[in-house]
Structure 1
């Protein structure tokens, strides 16, 4: 990603509580300082972006999120899929578990796929039968013109 875009990136969604963007491999936490994304501290677990969704604990309705949607945008430029090709993303899930005893957490990581631009639109090319028909028409027209040129315009018989 073009680092000049980092300061204008924004994430909007009902359940989004924080976001953080940085140069490649520099984001290791998002939201409160204890919500780290780096797991055991290995460099390979640092990211380019982090999004915090909800709050810790399942009480109050902000921590019991089953699914959510958010929008990533820029304050002054249109974003493209190519700008996120092979970028690393991390998500920290809080209140993980079953039933009402969800005291665990989970750290997920993923990488955007390599962006392959769509193939160019095909250009319209006349079909070979159309070209052949036009060629035959042109030959026929030339023959008629040639015959007319051989016949004299007027003839006198005595």
Structure 2
């Protein structure tokens, strides 16, 4: 029998209990266009850190952050076939190609979670959660703890 999956998210503390994916709805992301709710999580705390730090500067340094550990129910993850992706999925800032893949997954609503490679480290994975899927109520927040980044990451 498959076990549950533990994923991680680092976010502003005021959004730490929210699992709606509002940030992605308003701003879009690598795997979704603006107007689609999706919650981005990572396979490890370190990858979560990288995914946040790549988007900040000295001027936008994150404070008042929390690490959220989320438990996903067994059997609810669909894995994207990485070998079928065109190289353009890695384009910066985000490619329309990757967004269309994610938008279709959200629209099809066949799975609660989509496992996708990280652009920062394609040997590790991010897990997209579809907050509109019926199994979303089965997701549990295991813990929320205050989080701060080592100041050595803050380069002038």
TM-score of the alignment, normalized to the shorter chain, above 0.5 = no
Larger Rg: 1
Q: Which category of TM-score, normalised to the shorter sequence, fits these structures?
A: under 0.3
More helix as a share of residues: 2
TM-score (norm 2): 0.23
TM-score (norm 1): 0.23
